[in-house]
Amino acid sequence: MGDMSVDLYLWFKALHIISVIAWMAGLLYLPRLFVYHCEADKDSDLSETLKVMEGRLFKFIMRPARIATIVFGGLLFLDMDSDQWLDLWVLMKMACVLLLLGIHDINNKWRKAFLIDKNIHSQKFYKIMNEVPTILMILAIFCVIFKPV
């Protein structure tokens, strides 16, 4: 740990974990909504309801949780000793985080396609994509807990 007080560090760590949980919930739920959206007829009540749900999930849960995850994770990262920044576990975790950020952005692209009734992917595609954030989350957690060298 660096220069940050222990109390402040623990607050940031707790807020980081809370924001990651909220962000991951969205990253796991949004593709599931896309699976259901694939089944809905265009312009149906179900399709319109899913559009609203997807938009609210993304704008009010996923986006703020992503920002909080980056802010609190960044504060924790900056508090680390700089000689640790290139440790294998840090680089592996950062790779997972960058991939999760990309998945977040891709989910938004897919959400916008559903919004204008231009989805091109199948239910099976979204079911598979639903698993990717889970794998990345598990890898990131293992990196932090086990700190491979």
Is the residue at 102 inside a domain?
yes
Structural domain boundaries, residue 117: 6-146
Domain count for the chain: 1
Is the residue at 115 inside a domain?
yes
Cα–Cα distance between 51 and 49 in angstroms, integer? 5
* pLDDT of the chain, 149 residues: tens digit per residue: 677 899 999 999 999 999 999 999 999 999 999 999 999 999 999 999 999 999 999 999 999 999 999 999 999 999 999 999 999 999 999 999 999 999 999 999 999 999 999 999 999 999 999 999 999 999 999 999 999 98
Cα–Cα distance between 126 and 138 in angstroms, integer? 19
pLDDT of residue 3: 77
Is the residue at 56 inside a domain?
yes
Is the residue at 1 inside a domain?
no
- Residues 72 and 19: beta-carbon distance below 8 Å: yes
pLDDT of residue 149: 82
Is the residue at 142 inside a domain?
yes
Q: At what angle do helices 45-56 and 88-115 cross, to 10 degrees?
A: 150
Is the residue at 10 inside a domain?
yes
Is the residue at 26 inside a domain?
yes
pLDDT of residue 1: 62
